Amino acid sequence: MTSLLSSSASPRAASAHRPLPRALARMLSLDDFEAAAKRRLPRPIFGYVAGAAEDNQSLRGNRNAFTQYAFSPRVLVDVSRRTQQTELFGRRYASPFGIAPMGISALSAYRGDIVLARAAREQGIPAILSGTSLIPLEDVIRAAPGTWFQAYLPGDPQRIDALVERARRAGYETLVLTVDIPVSANRENNVRTGFSTPLKPSLRLAWDGLTRPRWLAGTFMRTLLAHGMPHFENSFATRGAPIVSSSVLRDFSARDHLSWEHVARIRRQWPGTLIIKGILHPQDAALARQHGADGIIVSNHGGRQLDGAVSPLRALPAVAEAAGNMTVMMDSGVRRGSDVLKALALGASFVFVGRPFNYAAAVGGEAGVSHAIGLLRAEVDRNMAMLGINHVQEMGPDLLVREYPHPA
């Protein structure tokens, strides 16, 4: 088995060796990064990261779901040998969580995707590079071997083949297909905050940039000077093509006709680990298994696609049952070590976290992301001790009770 553990990735050592910059020392939980990122980022970019679809029902539901379960801990168990190391697809990771794919991260932090991927590698956890990254996928895996690649499938089979082949040639071993985006979501918040892709110059953006000089100089101008105008890099078979008036467009064509046949085609072509992200229905979990997926990520895209979609935590037990022996992971709304452990108790083997790591990159670059990983890792470790377990696999439904919402 390959281990992705580096020397600094032991549960209690995270970020203990290097003194933290003052701005990071004030970050005591993942949520703390949000307010700091809001001050650092222009409004349209912060809004793009923080926002969800329509009325934010799923966004709120994702967090609420965790409050509906309470722990039933065991005491007087010797927990001095506890470890949160987790085996996944033949690798050993330092913690049972990783970094979810997030498009356009290079607008939050300079070389954002590389920052996320390198911090993850250093801390012994997986990061998934987004298909809508502004950095070529080849550059990211060179900087952080072991990174996973997430693709949005173009509608045309030849293009699918070419993109999958490009990821394979670059050295990716894990391919994540995101399938919950047959059409673009209704992100009214992007219109309200003035966010667009490609980023269009506007008075508001100019003002926001000027009033946030650290972002303007440290992220935007630095990117512009070193790499040119940011553009989508990973939708097509080759780096950087085709150029359309200084921006490479995302290939959103014909995604609404994608079906399980396309998944079957990719399964025949892709020799590595294949994961389907965006599953919420038990029957789709069963179909993913029938089509040869190695794993699924139960996800409602952080509430950014179908507003009103069930929270993944709530969907987990039924989906995990339908998945049989296929690996089940989840994301959406995970913010605390206790959330990670609740998801594991309800049938996930691993979880992914999105927005907080994006904010951490914006606030503190690679050190910020490492610090965020360390905080979550310390929470998992502390909670494992208080729950009376030595291994994350010991988390099961017997350690949870269902709490019903208290009247307000």
Ligand X SMILES: Cc1cc2nc3c(=O)[nH]c(=O)nc-3n(C[C@H](O)[C@H](O)[C@H](O)COP(=O)(O)O)c2cc1C
Q: Which residues bind ligand X (CB under 6 A)?
A: 48-49, 62, 100-103, 130-132, 150, 178, 277, 299, 301-302, 304, 331-334, 353-355, 358
Residue type, 313: L
Tokens of 121: 């590698």
301 in catalytic set: yes
User: Which CB sits closer to ligand X, 60 or 291?
Assistant: 60
Question: At closest approach, how far in Å is the CB of 131 from ligand X?
Answer: 6
Rounded to a whole number of angstroms, the minimum distance from the CB of residue 108 to ligand X is: 8
Nearest CA to 400 among 346, 335, 351?
Answer: 346
Of 15 and 62, which CB lies nearer to ligand X in the complex structure?
Answer: 62
Nearer to ligand X by Cβ, of 43 and 301: the residue is 301
> Smallest distance from the beta carbon of 194 to ligand X, in angstroms?
16
Distance of CA 225 to the CA centre of its chain: 28
Residues 378 and 340: beta-carbon distance below 8 Å? no
Answer for the pair 255, 263: CB distance below 8 angstroms, yes or no: no
Nearer to ligand X, 15 or 150 (CB): 150
Q: State the catalytic residue, choosing from 301, 371, 391, 406.
A: 301
Distance CA 328, CA 312 (A): 11
**Residue closer to ligand X, measured from CB, 84 or 299:** 299
Q: Where are the beta strands (DSSP E) in 346-393?
A: 350-353
| Measured CA distances, 248 to 137, 139, 199, 228 (Å) | 14, 17, 12, 12
Tell how strand 69-71 and strand 400-402 pair up: antiparallel
CB of 4 to ligand X, least distance (A): 20
Closest approach of Cβ 202 to ligand X, in Å?
20
Question: What are 37-41's contacts with CB under 8 Å, separation 24+?
Answer: 37/108, 37/358, 37/359, 37/360, 37/362, 37/363, 39/212, 40/212, 40/214, 40/215, 40/362, 40/363, 41/108, 41/212, 41/215, 41/362
- Under the phi-then-psi rule, with left for phi > 0, alpha for psi from -120 to 50, and beta for the rest, what region is 335? alpha
Active site residues: 301
